[in-house]
A and B are shown apart, each in its own frame.
Chain A
Amino acid sequence: MNRTEWPLWEVFIRSRQGLEHKHCGSLHAADAKQAIQMARDVYTRRQEGVSIWVVASNAITASDPDDKEALFDPMADKIYRHPTFYELPEELKHM
């Protein structure tokens, strides 16, 4: 018996007009068109979406969890990037 599996796709759903597409899971499908049809049945049975993206899973490049500190920790000491870093005179009220 031929054991060839259908390729894996990552599914992204836009839940409402005006919101971004959000990753919601993955599924196997023979091609992109079928992946959209299946994503509709698997992930939007209760009107969870108004638009679907599918991306072949092997097309995604992800950062390495081991690089987490190297990539993201340098931002921890840059508190001046946040508005709350600046103490302004009370008279200013809104800025």
Chain B
Amino acid sequence: MYTQAVDVPGKDPGLDADRARSPEETRFESKIHADQKIEPRDWMPDAYRKTLIRQISQHAHSEIVGMLPEGNWITRAPSLKRKVILLAKVQDEAGHGLYLYAAAETLGVSRDALIDALHAGTAKYSSIFNYPTLTWADIGVIGWLVDGAAIMNQIPLCRCSFGPYARAMIRICKEESFHQRQGYDLLAAMMRGTPAQRTMVQDAVNRWWWPVLMMFGPHDRESQHTPQAMAWGIKRISNDDLRQKFVDATVPQAALLGVTLPDPELKWNGERGHYDFGEIDWEEFWRVVNGDGPCNRERLATRIRAHEEGHWVREAALAYAEKQCTRAGNQAA
């Protein structure tokens, strides 16, 4: 559901065309140029493997942590219909997290190691989930804007050069469209309601708009890994281009819904053929990415608690499986 182009500084092998390459590396690069997929057992540069492990696991963590802000409202959904819809959406997010963990594991990293990195705070997840869901309208706005932004990010990933990631993304994108539509539908229902409900929707839009634009990550000029990720076919469209695409798509949807977007600089630019919009508060972005958002501590603590409280279940299931296995062995003997 959610990716975020948050670059963690690391060492790139460099795009230098004159650098000496091994025969494997030459073969790898020619596959990438021919738009062929790389599969787990194929040779790949270490940096490609590491970049993918980082990005896919970050994506998986985002799906898993992404269940928390919405899970907060399952018991308080205003009708049975809205409750089953929200349950289905949250269940999808768990599923998406699992597809992605499995894709990351094909690169030779263990599930435990990935989860440990999340819990230790060394692996990132999308900063958007560190904002609170204060009212029911937030659930609608998450579907409409957060999932809408995620879809923009994820559609190009279906063409990613790494086979298991691309295949997971195709499955995810197919399921994602309902997430955005149910959000918009929820908000449309509220907009047909009382003035208080309309105010609630507008308030939620005001709070989420800027954090949603941050989901696309830093400006291209600040995003040091983008050229390498593009050359490897991991990233297909740049952060700024995706953000622009999202703004252009969203403005008419907001008008139709009857809400305004909280940006005085937002206006159509006929010359560019795009909407102009104001500057993101990057200080806030980095503060949230680096752990100081409104809910960072709460999200991580909830995640760790859930994992620890499930420990006995995982242990018991394994013990049961071993016992059944031993019994079957004894009977055969």
* Chain A interfacial positions (CB closer than 8 Å to B): 1-6, 8, 24-28, 30-31, 34, 41-43, 45-46, 62, 64-65
A30 and B317 contacting across the interface, CB-CB below 8 Å: yes
**Contact surface of B with A, Cβ cutoff 8 Å:** 39, 41-43, 88, 91-92, 95, 98-99, 102, 105, 110-112, 167-168, 171, 175, 311, 314-315, 317-318, 320-321, 324-325
Chain A residues in 8 Å Cβ range of B102: 25-27
Complex-state Cα separation, A43 to B110, whole angstroms: 21
**List of A residues within 8 angstroms of B321 by Cβ:** 30-31, 34
Pick from A3, A6, A27: contact of B98, CB below 8 A: A27
> Which residue of A24, A31, A42, A64 contacts B324 across the interface (Cβ within 8 Å)?
A31
Q: Kindly provide the distance from the CB of A23 to the nearest chain B CB, expressed in whole angstroms.
A: 10
A65 lies within 8 A of B95 (CB): no
B105:A65 contact, CB within 8 angstroms: no
Report 8 cross-chain contacts, Cβ distance below 8 Å, ordered by A residue: A1-B311, A2-B315, A6-B318, A24-B171, A27-B102, A30-B314, A30-B317, A42-B99
Minimum distance in angstroms from A2 CB to a CB of chain B = 6
Chain B positions within 8 Å of A2 at CB level: 311, 315
User: Could you say which of A24, A27, A30 has the most chain B C-beta atoms within 10 Å of its C-beta?
Assistant: A30
Q: Tell me, rounded to whole Å, the shortest Cβ–Cβ distance linking A67 to chain B.
A: 11
- By the criterion CB–CB under 8 Å, are A28 and B318 in contact? no
Q: How far is the CA of A28 from the CA of B311 in the complex (A)?
A: 15
Q: Which residues of B contact A6 (CB under 8 A)?
A: 314, 317-318
How distant is the Cα of A41 from the Cα of B92 in the complex, in angstroms? 9
